[in-house]
């Protein structure tokens, strides 16, 4: 072994017994654990070691390593502990000390709050947690406080009042829905500016796992539970843009996407075919395709640098959106209370250079991260924290062209179609209107997989959304939230 440079310097070395074989074992300064057992063996403590325990004369190194198919990496992870016996009691104590010291130096989280949604996806959240998540967190000696979500918005309520000083992260074993609730809960706190700095982790256990897929796919990892948990244990962080959606005095926060038109209709209206399982989306997409709707309306936006040529120039069209003066003092008081929560970025939207695209539209889609679901790469160029949202617009096109571009959604090829307008925006205003063929009927606005607004004549239109089917404004905060990430 070359120990010439600093990184290859052993922090500790000894002759130990590994699986009955006596071999030199060394922990190098660069974090590799090196020994020889039927050939040279090496583990990266940072990447592959969850933790260790001392049991009698033995030390058990708990690892999670990549399954290799010959020389090719499959990205799949499996547990394979290494047990060794140091040569003496003193050596045993030194090994425990050096391993602890090294793992502590990695800045990994020690206490996590974990939400488990027993209801999400195929209702497997609890089983995924017990069988796959908990054992790994225990092997990493992370203290966990577990909370099952009991109903819709439960995670948001808890995030709003959680004692955040007790935890170094909040983990959601769920789909995207619970993560979105947590972000909204944190931003509705009076101490939102501290609370939103809490690092958030997501373990895929829902139908829509767009955030987990976006994080893991960015480093070529499969969207699997073990990969997601390992990322949380290792404790690397990345920041995430947060979009603020405003209409009058109502504000909500979005981290994944906003959809109006075809995508929203498929996402929300297919609920009535839930009994079909995941086939409901494909089935309902086909129904919508055969009976294609177009929506009257308009979108205006502040383009990101390089996208200024899209649309036509316009002035700020959101005048009625801004929070106005209150003639009723009690209303003013309640708004003052609401104002203690986060209100969105303080930018002077009126002075920005707005552009407009008029409908009719087949689909309008805003995306913050590349993947909307595990099989939908909605916005291939989206970045977690570039401060922009990717806007994907589909206008009139033939059914054949539409079918072709829909079939490319899994690889993001649709954005290259001449029928798709794809750009980045800093701020956005949606003015949704009725369907072209039947102006008595309107549409649905979908934010992060939930109904934000339902227009006249839509599925379940008697249920009110949080906002009216009317003009709304979206602004972006660059990197406001923080996520655990594989790299």
Ligand X SMILES: Nc1ncnc2c1ncn2[C@@H]1O[C@H](COP(=O)(O)OP(=O)(O)OP(=O)(O)O)[C@@H](O)[C@H]1O
Residues annotated as part of the active site: 176
Structure tokens at 348: 């002077």
22 bridge partner residues: 17
Residue with tokens 């027993």: 118
Query: Does position 174 bind ligand X by CB under 6 A?
Result: yes
Q: Are 63 and 80 in contact (CB under 8 A)?
A: yes
Q: Which is nearer to ligand X, 31 or 208 (CB)?
A: 208
Cα atoms found within 13 Å of the Cα of residue 175, Cβ hemisphere only: 21
**Helical segments of 198-271, H only:** 210-217, 225-234, 262-269
| Residues from 343 through 362 that contact ligand X (CB under 6 A) | none
Q: Which is nearer to ligand X, 208 or 370 (CB)?
A: 208
Query: Does position 446 bind ligand X by CB under 6 A?
Result: no
> Minimum distance between the CB of residue 138 and ligand X, rounded to whole angstroms?
23
> Minimum distance between the CB of residue 158 and ligand X, rounded to whole angstroms?
11
Q: Which of 117, 199, 251, 385 binds ligand X (CB under 6 A)?
A: 117
For residue 397, count other CB atoms closer than 10 A to its CB: 16
C-alpha pair distances (Å), 326 with each of 158, 249, 476: 31, 11, 26
Site string for ligand X, 407-426 (x = CB under 6 A): --------------------
Query: Does position 176 bind ligand X by CB under 6 A?
Result: yes
Q: Which is nearer to ligand X, 116 or 364 (CB)?
A: 116
Q: Is 207 strand, coil or helix?
A: coil
293 bridge partner residues: none
Q: Is 125 strand, coil or helix?
A: helix
Q: Which of 15, 79, 97, 150 binds ligand X (CB under 6 A)?
A: 150
Structure tokens at 314: 């316009």
Q: Are 355 and 311 in contact (CB under 8 A)?
A: yes
| Residues from 57 through 96 that contact ligand X (CB under 6 A) | none
| Residues from 179 through 218 that contact ligand X (CB under 6 A) | 181, 206-208
Q: Which of 10, 75, 118, 135 binds ligand X (CB under 6 A)?
A: 118
> Minimum distance between the CB of residue 224 and ligand X, rounded to whole angstroms?
16
Query: Does position 449 bind ligand X by CB under 6 A?
Result: yes
Count of residues of this chain found to bind ligand X when the rule CB under 6 A is applied: 21
Q: 356: phi > 0 → left, psi -120 to 50 → alpha, else beta; which?
A: beta
Query: Does position 51 bind ligand X by CB under 6 A?
Result: no
Query: Does position 443 bind ligand X by CB under 6 A?
Result: no
d(CA 450, CA 428): 19
Q: Which of 103, 112, 178, 391 binds ligand X (CB under 6 A)?
A: 178
Structure tokens at 36: 């020889």
Q: Are 195 and 136 in contact (CB under 8 A)?
A: no
Length of the chain measured in residues = 487
d(CA 435, CA 359): 11
Q: Which region, judged by CB under 6 A, interacts with ligand X, from 70-78, 172-180, 312-320, 386-394?
A: 172-180
Q: Which is nearer to ligand X, 208 or 303 (CB)?
A: 208
Q: Which region, judged by CB under 6 A, interacts with ligand X, from 19-27, 71-79, 133-141, 174-182?
A: 174-182
Q: Which is nearer to ligand X, 119 or 361 (CB)?
A: 119
Structure tokens at 302: 């502040």
Residue whose C-alpha is closest to residue 109's, from 28, 230, 223: 230
> Minimum distance between the CB of residue 120 and ligand X, rounded to whole angstroms?
2
Q: Which of 21, 88, 105, 152 binds ligand X (CB under 6 A)?
A: 152
Residues forming contacts to ligand X in the complex (CB under 6 A) are 117-121, 149-154, 174-178, 181, 206-208, 449
């Amino acid at each position: 072994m070359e120990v010439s440079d600093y990184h290859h310097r052993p922090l500790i070395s000894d002759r130990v017994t590994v699986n009955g074989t006596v071999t030199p074992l060394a922990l190098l300064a660069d974090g590799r654990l090196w020994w020889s057992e039927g050939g040279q063996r090496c583990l990266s403590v940072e990447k592959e070691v969850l933790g260790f325990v001392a049991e009698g004369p033995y030390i058990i190194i708990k690892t999670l390593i990549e399954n290799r198919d010959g020389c090719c990496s499959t990205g799949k992870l499996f547990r394979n502990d290494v047990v060794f016996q140091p040569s003496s009691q003193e050596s045993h104590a030194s090994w425990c000390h050096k391993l602890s010291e090294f793992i502590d130096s990695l800045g990994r989280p020690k206490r996590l709050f974990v939400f488990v949604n027993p209801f999400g996806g195929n209702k497997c959240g609890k089983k995924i947690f017990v069988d796959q998540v908990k054992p790994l967190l225990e092997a990493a000696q992370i203290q966990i406080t577990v909370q099952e979500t009991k109903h819709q918005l439960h995670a948001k309520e808890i995030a709003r009042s959680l004692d955040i000083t007790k935890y170094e992260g909040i983990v959601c074993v769920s789909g995207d829905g619970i993560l979105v609730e947590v972000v909204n809960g944190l931003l509705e706190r009076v101490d939102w500016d501290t609370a939103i700095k809490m690092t958030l982790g997501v373990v895929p256990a829902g139908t829509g796992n767009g955030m987990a897929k976006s994080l893991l796919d960015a480093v070529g990892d499969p969207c699997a539970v073990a990969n997601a948990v390992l990322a949380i244990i290792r404790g690397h962080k990345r920041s995430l843009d947060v979009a603020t959606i405003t209409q009058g005095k109502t504000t909500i926060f979005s981290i994944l996407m906003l959809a109006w038109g075809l995508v929203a209709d498929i996402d929300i209206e297919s609920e009535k075919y839930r009994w079909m399982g995941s086939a409901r989306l494909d089935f309902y997409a086909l129904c919508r395709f055969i009976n294609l709707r177009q929506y009257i309306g308009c979108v205006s936006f502040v383009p990101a640098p390089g996208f200024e040529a899209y649309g036509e120039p316009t002035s700020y069209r959101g005048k009625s959106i801004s929070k106005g003066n209150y003639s009723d003092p009690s209303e003013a008081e309640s708004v003052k209370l609401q104002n203690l929560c986060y209100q969105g970025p303080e930018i002077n939207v009126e002075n920005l250079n707005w552009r407009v695209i008029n409908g009719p539209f087949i689909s309008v889609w805003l995306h913050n991260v590349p993947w909307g679901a595990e099989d939908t790469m909605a916005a291939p160029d989206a970045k977690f924290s570039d401060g922009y949202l990717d806007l994907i617009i589909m206008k009139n096109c033939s059914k054949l062209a539409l079918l072709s571009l829909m079939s490319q959604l899994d690889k993001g090829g649709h954005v290259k179609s001449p029928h798709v307008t794809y750009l980045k925006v800093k701020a956005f205003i949606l003015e949704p209107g009725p369907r072209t063929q039947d102006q008595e009927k309107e549409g649905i606005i979908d934010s992060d997989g939930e109904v934000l607004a339902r227009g006249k004549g839509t599925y379940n239109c008697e249920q009110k959304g949080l906002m009216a089917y009317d003009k709304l404004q979206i602004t972006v905060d660059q990197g406001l939230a923080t996520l655990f990430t594989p790299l």
